[in-house]
């Protein structure tokens, strides 16, 4: 998915607030009860040493879980990459990746 990268990567989901949709059905899709706001979400892969964003997934509604969004994105990693992730990705174990 991305060209060159260091072996130490960080995987995380990020949410951004958005204006509340006027359509009632869209409001429910974008409403994030935990944050008490309407949000959009992406999964990011960041180079741990430089802080450079190497990959950003397609934008989805904020209600979707981080792991589900990562599975949907079908991210490919370099061989033997080390990926740090938070508990939002529990159970997400892509092949050829060392998790810490």
Does 62 fall in a domain?
Answer: yes
Query: What is the dihedral angle through the alpha carbons of 7, 58, 41, 37, rounded to the nearest 10 degrees?
Result: 170
25/78: higher pLDDT:
78
Does 30 fall in a domain?
Answer: yes
Does 66 fall in a domain?
Answer: yes
Tell me if 53 sits within 8 A of 45, measured CB to CB.
Answer: yes
SS3 at position 14: strand
The pair phi, psi for residue 4, each rounded to 5°, is -105, 145
pLDDT tens-digit map of 16-56: 888 887 877 777 777 777 767 888 899 999 999 899 999 99
pLDDT given at position 66: 92
Does 1 fall in a domain?
Answer: no
96/40: higher pLDDT:
40
Domain count along the chain = 1
Does 35 fall in a domain?
Answer: yes
Q: Whole-angstrom Cα distance, residue 49 to residue 64?
A: 29
Give the domain extent around 61.
8-99
pLDDT given at position 71: 92
Give the rounded distance of the alpha carbon of 82 from its chain centre: 16
pLDDT given at position 4: 47
Averaged pLDDT score across all residues of the chain: 83
pTM here is 0.77
């Amino acid at each position: 998915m991305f060209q060159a990268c260091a072996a130490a990567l960080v995987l995380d989901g990020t949410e951004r607030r958005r204006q509340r949709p006027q359509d009632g059905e869209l409001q429910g899709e974008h409403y994030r009860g935990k944050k008490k706001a309407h949000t959009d979400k992406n999964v990011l892969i960041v180079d741990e040493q430089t802080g450079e964003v190497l990959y950003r997934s397609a934008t989805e509604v904020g209600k979707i879980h981080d792991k589900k969004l990562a599975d949907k994105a079908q991210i490919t990693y370099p061989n033997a990459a080390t990926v740090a992730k938070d508990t939002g990705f529990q159970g997400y174990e892509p092949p050829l990746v060392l998790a810490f």
